[in-house]
A and B are shown apart, each in its own frame.
Chain A
């Protein structure tokens, strides 16, 4: 993956139209493919998406991460020209979704969350329908279908009815219809919901494969998915983007502090607190619940310091028994929880 330019902690202000060529050459790894400026979408009084701006470059695999009702699906519906924005501009390859929706749709492959396929059709018949609507010329249709069937592993079910497919195959067919016309941009709304763990692995592998030469936007509320598939994460919460960066960047930015959980026996609470607090690099010490005469302590410190050795030596020095020491590796999950803490309502767009 090519890196985008360095990103600020807050989503960077968008490139102005003057510097973003309307028809940029689609070869460079830093060409903006999707430009969203000040996108707001309201449903009645509810602001599903609130002044969101971001740019996605060619070849990026971007995860929209957020709790249910955060505005991920709505953002995708605007990108795919299903719903018009209330305000703001959304452009794909320099084409505005409001002004040239057909052109935009031609360049996009989309799989909505519920995987709505025509159950009464056959798999092959359905792919043929999509190929036809997508305007793949008759002479190339057979080839295009054969190719996508092979890549998505649909061969075994090609003559079955869509309605008879298992969830995993259904999802693959959904992916197949989204990429059959070899689009520049693939938009997948929660592509792994409702699948079993094996199928999830399969679908993720497929997404990576299919997305190797494409720009992919996928939404999810599953954090491992982002870490497994995406080069870049946009965390959306209550209709706003609250974080933007690679999974690594997010780790670094949002966790300046690391934590050490200790379980110590034979120490006096205040004494231990004072002694640990005196170690170099320690920012805070808090007490946990004590059990069986052992003392639980949480020590936070800067990300760069490794406290494990000093803590061990301190215990030895004071004659405390160190029952447990655990360094907390902060997961994206943690970051996500911190950022979206206080989310109680479950509004659906």
Chain B
């Protein structure tokens, strides 16, 4: 566990000791803030729909930007060799890095709590709905970050890592938007795989274990895949 904690701390210092986290978070807040406020007074409802609607789209960019460096950089600079010959398990390395990225995501989400708080001043807010909406965002963001970590482990190029994880996240996102065009036979499958479906359920104020399970299985699959990718060095590289 000391290894995991040390890796986590290092990565977190990497995010916040450098412009990375600030730039990404600021961009995220700017874009989300715009979408949130621009519709707020037109709709005239005391909720955070505006934010929750746009957040998944923004996270499709946000998550890969946070994770692209994590492992690709280690491959590129050769530091992976030193890291993996320290007394840490490969899984500790992966988890430490993932949790650091997740922390940045969580910080960004905490900062957006300004939206529901502001709305709360204007009128009564459905606290339950906002709460599950945020759980949904963390789950969805967490899943995207896991995809990003995996992509970062598969290449030594940050650009490639970004593009690959962007496309995978975007694909998962797009599945939900493409439902009207899908042959009816495939509909249940697409519906199940799309992040949209599961996220929409959560924003309605309902936490369904199936939705939670969906996101958690993406996380687990991707992180297990990442550990596997690190072990891939053992078969020649």
Q: Which A residues have a C-beta under 8 Å from some C-beta of B?
A: 43-44, 77, 80-84, 102-103, 105-106, 108, 110, 112, 114, 116-121, 125, 129-130, 132-135, 177
Contact = CB atoms under 8 A, between A and B. Distances in A.
B79 interface: yes
B234 A133 contact: no
B5 A125 contact: no
A132 B6 contact: yes
B77 A119 contact: yes
16 contacts: A44-B236, A81-B85, A84-B234, A102-B88, A105-B86, A105-B87, A110-B85, A116-B82, A118-B77, A120-B17, A121-B10, A132-B2, A132-B6, A133-B88, A134-B86, A135-B3
Contact of A129 (B10, B77, B78, B85): B10
Given A82-B84, A102-B87, 6 more contacts: A44-B236, A83-B233, A102-B89, A116-B82, A118-B10, A129-B10
Interface in B34-57: none
A133 B6 contact: yes
B123 interface: no
A116 B84 CA distance: 12
Contacts of A135: 2-3, 87
Given A105-B86, A118-B79, A134-B87, A83 B9 contact: no
Is chain B's binding surface mostly helix, strand, loop or mixed? Answer: helix
Contacts of A108: 85
A110 B6 contact: no
B86 A133 contact: yes
Nearest to B96: A133
A133 B7 contact: yes
Contacts of B77: 116, 118-119
Contacts, number: 67
Contacts of B9: 129, 132
A116 B234 contact: no
Q: Rank and list the top 8 A-B pairs by shortest CB-CB distance, nearest first.
A: A116-B78, A132-B6, A133-B6, A116-B79, A80-B85, A105-B87, A106-B87, A43-B236
Contacts of B114: none
A121 B78 CA distance: 15
A71 to B, nearest CB: 15
Contacts of B78: 112, 114, 116
Contacts of A118: 10, 77, 79
A77 to B, nearest CB: 8
Contacts of A112: 78, 81-82
Nearest to A187: B85
Contacts of B6: 129, 132-133
Contact of B79 (A103, A106, A117): A117
Contacts of A44: 236
B85 A105 contact: yes
B13 interface: yes
A129 B13 CA distance: 11
A316 B79 CA distance: 67
Contacts of A106: 87
A132 B2 CA distance: 7
A152 to B, nearest CB: 17
Nearest to B92: A133
Nearest to B236: A43
Nearest to A131: B6
Which of the listed residues A82, A117, A121 has the most CB atoms from chain B within 10 Å of its own CB?
A: A82
A1 B189 CA distance: 71
Which of the listed residues A116, A119, A125 has the most CB atoms from chain B within 10 Å of its own CB?
A: A116
A133 B3 contact: yes
B149 to A, nearest CB: 18
B13 A125 contact: yes
B14 A120 contact: yes
Which of the listed residues A84, A114, A120 has the most CB atoms from chain B within 10 Å of its own CB?
A: A120
Contacts of B236: 43-44
Interface string B45-73: 00000000000000000000000000000
Given A133-B3, A133-B6, A82 B233 contact: yes
A185 B10 CA distance: 26
Contacts of B85: 80-82, 105, 108, 110
A105 B86 CA distance: 6
B18 interface: yes
A110 B87 CA distance: 11
B175 to A, nearest CB: 37
Contacts of B2: 132-133, 135
Which of the listed residues B6, B9, B17 has the most CB atoms from chain A within 10 Å of its own CB?
A: B6
A140 to B, nearest CB: 13
Contacts of A177: 82
Nearest to A349: B236
A103 B87 CA distance: 7
A44 B17 CA distance: 42
Contacts of A114: 78
Nearest to A181: B87
Contacts of B14: 120-121
B223 to A, nearest CB: 20
Given A43-B236, A133-B6, A116 B87 contact: no
A44 B86 CA distance: 26
Interface string B6-37: 11011001100110000000000000000000
Nearest to B5: A132
Contacts of A82: 81, 84-85, 233
